[in-house]
Amino acid sequence: GAVVSQHPSWVICKSGTSVKIECRSLDFQATTMFWYRQFPKQSLMLMATSNEGSKATYEQGVEKDKFLINHASLTLSTLTVTSAHPEDSSFYICSARDSLKHEQFFGPGTRLTVL
Amino acid sequence: GENVEQHPSTLSVQEGDSAVIKCTYSDSASNYFPWYKQELGKRPQLIIDIRSNVGEKKDQRIAVTLNKTAKHFSLHITETQPEDSAVYFCAVLLPSGSRLTFGEGTQLTVNP
């Protein structure tokens, strides 16, 4: 399958700081990327849909000013968690859909811990 | 929007037995149905998918069946092995939608 990379794989930060996570599709173009959050033993919760060259679409209950998404190219989307707090600690996973197909592939995830 | 229900939430089988996980969906226009396997702390990985114009698809020990009339699809794993132990998610895509709707997941445990 196609390859999606995500960086960093884990991060620990102090409360109040901002954290930036990168998601890249390595061998295909992705006009649409998705950002999920996953708590232990739970399903994937879609946070927002990121479209190349346009504003992201946020799911209900997700603060767009807190979770900043940028999709500047067909292979890169970034999620910035601003003013992170302990309740933001979670596993964040990006996903990219091949522009030519239905298939959606996931990045390896970023484990965020806010102290 | 689309509603996806997945059952069972946990499934424990003996090595060598078969495992079946079922998902139902609400919107008859849905046309793409992937299954993902997620091991602890890792990314979900696409293991098999099926489109609405096909009733069954098989890949070695894994198969997916789709019943469009009843709006359900199932994952079948035969000759299960301990390394099949993971959480399995079904998902559904509407032709007009840009995103997948996921089921709640099934924790499969294969006992040696």
Span A78-89, pLDDT tens digits: 999 999 999 999
8 Å CB contact of B102 and A43: yes
User: Is residue B9 within 8 angstroms of chain A, CB to CB?
Assistant: no
Mention every residue, 6+ apart, whose C-beta is less than 8 A from residue A31: A51, A52, A74, A97, A99
What's the half-sphere exposure (Cβ side, CA atoms, 13 Å) at A67?
A: 22
When comparing pLDDT for A15 and A71, which is higher? Answer: A15
Buried b (16+ CB within 10 A) or exposed e, A70-86: ebeebbbbbbebeebee
B-chain residue closest to A43, CA distance: B104
Can you read off the two tokens belonging to residue A77? 């989307």
Q: Indicate which of B7, B40, B43, B93 best probes the interface with A, i.e. most A CBs within 10 Å of its own CB.
A: B43
Instruction: Kindly report the three-state secondary structure assignment for every residue of A55-92.
Output: CCEECCCCCCCCEEEEEEECCEEEEEECCCCHHHCEEE
Question: Which contiguous run of DSSP H or E holds residue B10?
Answer: strand B10-14
pLDDT of residue A83: 96
User: Is residue B37 within 8 angstroms of chain A, CB to CB?
Assistant: no
A-chain residue closest to B5, CA distance: A43
pLDDT of residue A67: 96
Can you read off the two tokens belonging to residue A28? 């295909």
User: Is residue A105 within 8 angstroms of chain B, CB to CB?
Assistant: yes
Residue A77's identity, in one-letter code, is S
Phi-psi region of A34 (alpha: psi -120 to 50; beta: other; left: phi over 0): beta
- Asked whether the predicted pLDDT for residue B30 surpasses 70, the reply is yes
- Asked whether the predicted pLDDT for residue B70 surpasses 90, the reply is yes
8 Å CB contact of B46 and A105: yes
> d(Cα A75, Cα A22) in Å, to the nearest integer?
10
Question: Which contiguous run of DSSP H or E holds residue B87?
Answer: strand B86-93
User: Is residue B103 within 8 angstroms of chain A, CB to CB?
Assistant: yes
8 Å CB contact of A105 and B102: no
pLDDT of residue A41: 84
Span B75-91, pLDDT tens digits: 999 999 999 999 999 99
> d(Cα A94, Cα A90) in Å, to the nearest integer?
13
Which residue among A43, A46, A91 sits closest to B89, beta carbon to beta carbon? A43
- Please give, rounded to a whole number of angstroms, the shortest distance from the CA of B16 to a CA of chain A: 26
Span A5-63, pLDDT tens digits: 999 999 999 999 999 999 999 988 888 899 999 998 888 999 999 888 888 999 999 99
pLDDT of residue A1: 63
